[in-house]
Amino acid sequence: MIIASVRDLCLQLISSAFQRCHASEDLCRLSVILKRSPQSDPHSVLISVSDTGVGSCLEEFGGVKLHKEAFGAQIWDGLLFVTATSIADDEIYHYQFNLKENVSARRLTRLPSNPKNGLKFSGTEVCLSIIESIDVLVAEFSLFFQKILILKIPNVAIELVVEHGDDPGSRYVNVFLANEWNPLSIPASNLERLKSGLEDYVFKHGNTLSTKCELCFSSWEHLKVGSGVACCTESCKYSGSVMEAVIVISEISEVASTCPRTHGLKTEVLYFKDFSPCPIPQSSLKALTSIDWKSYGLSFGSVVVQGGFALVEWENLPTYVQIDIVLHHYHEQITIPSGRLRTRRDQNLIKKAIRLALDDLKDNYAGVLLSAQALKIRSYAPDLAKTISSLILSSNDSEFRKECFSFLGLPSQGVGGEVLDDCIKERLITVVEMNDRDPQRSKEIPTFLFEDDHMQDSGSQDEEFEVEDAFSSMDLC
């Protein structure tokens, strides 16, 4: 593992602590303490990352490597002090790692251990001292924790503590809890947590607020949520790889102009790997650019990487609409395929998961993400409805008119032209939207404007989905 900077190393240490907590079945605490002591260098900050998770192993720290540029600024001496114990250990072990040492065998120094006196507990603490602004570290660590909350892992409580000297009044504590505002039912799947977590993230403007912004979101109806899961089946050579995608489309209230948050034509794409925020990989960027967004009514502009996450710019998004995307890639059975196969497989998984999330939005919310062609055809619905309505009303064949009214679910007497127009228009729009959701199905099975709702064969649709899903699994692997 090669890390670019000391701050990135700190985030990696926090990420590892969070993963150890997630792996535990017990309630866990993750603490990050930043302390500046007046007796030491006034610019030096002691950083402590501790957790009560499952315990760490030496290989976790021995494999860490930093770019030479990370030591060039002389902001860190390269030393990590690690205290660790697992539930099965009888002692608390202490180590010192010198990451400036090029020879691996010389990196580790074992320090005297302490007995646990029969107590059963596990945990890890990693300490280092760097020269950095506390305000910069607090801002960066807080942003990291705000993203971690999207996962909504219920058994981890996170605290960020800042101490300026030994005065108790100078102590600042910020606590991050996953289910603090919008609790989930237990048990909940990883995808259910991810969906709820992204909803909270959007409602609370990146988890910077304690509750949802009432200026932007006066009700839950302002959010539309779609999700998709793609995975390699057990029959594939590399099994257990799962990609989850959640997409939230939010419509900002008109009174939100007074909200300090700015809304633009850009979508924030957050990426998680094995239950931890991480920089979005190149394979994900390629997948984002290769999706046929126009079939969902979106005109893709560009994508740039900023602060580890991607910003997608759209060319046709209304100013009152915001789109947020989160991707989570994890392994049910950890496998490490070759680099080329892994990149191709991950890219396919990402594309499929995002497409499934987009399709989920189209299925659950009428008129959402219609293709440009469907929008054009739908714009003709009012005029076409009037034409059909006038043909029905002007017919001298009373049986024909009665049959038309019956198929439309309207009484044969006392219905005006406006009511008939609206009914036909809604039928036309429904047909257009249904065919746009599944264009392949519309080619094979014609959709009739005048038909009984019970005439459609739902069994064939289920069968087609199963066949399509089977072929998709084969393609991915």
How large is the average pLDDT for residues 366-393?
Answer: 83
Given a cut of 70, is residue 473 above it in pLDDT?
Answer: no
pLDDT at 19: 92
DSSP string of 147-163, one letter each residue:
HHGGG--TTEEEEEEEE
pLDDT at 477 over 50: no
pLDDT at 158 over 80: yes
Q: Are 61 and 82 in contact (CB under 8 A)?
A: yes
CA 98, CA 119: separation in Å to the nearest integer? 31
Count, residues in the chain: 477
Q: Please choose, from the candidates 426, 432, 202, 425, the residue with its C-alpha nearest in 3D space to the C-alpha of residue 297.
A: 432
The per-residue pLDDT for range 271-309, each reduced to its tens digit, is 999 998 988 988 889 999 999 998 888 889 999 888 778
What was the pLDDT predicted at 237? 46
pLDDT for the residue 415: 77
What local confidence, expressed as pLDDT, does residue 306 receive? Answer: 82
Q: Which of 22-36, 377-391, 455-469 shows the lowest per-residue confidence on average (mean pLDDT)?
A: 455-469
pLDDT at 393: 85
Strand blocks (E) in 40-107? 44-51, 65-66, 79-85, 91-98
Q: Which residue has the higher pLDDT, 132 or 251?
A: 132
Q: Is the pLDDT of residue 343 over 90?
A: no
The C-alpha angle with vertex 150 and arms to 145 and 156, in degrees rounded to 5, equals 60
Mean pLDDT over residues 372-399, rounded?
Answer: 84
Radius of gyration, alpha carbons of the chain? 28
pLDDT value for 469: 43
For the stretch 174-222, pLDDT in tens is 888 776 667 777 788 999 999 999 999 998 888 888 888 888 877 777 7
Does residue 459 or residue 159 have the better pLDDT? 159
Note the pLDDT of residue 342.
Answer: 46
pLDDT for 216: 80
pTM for the model stands at 0.78
Higher pLDDT, 92 or 69: 92
Which of 71-80, 350-359, 373-382, 441-450 holds the top average pLDDT?
A: 350-359
Separation of alpha carbons 148 and 276, rounded Å: 7
pLDDT higher at 228 or 210: 228
Query: Considering the chain, what is the average pLDDT of its residues?
Result: 80
Q: How many CA atoms lie within 13 A of 304 on its CB side?
A: 6
pLDDT tens-place string over residues 428-468: 888 877 777 665 544 555 555 555 444 444 444 444 333 33
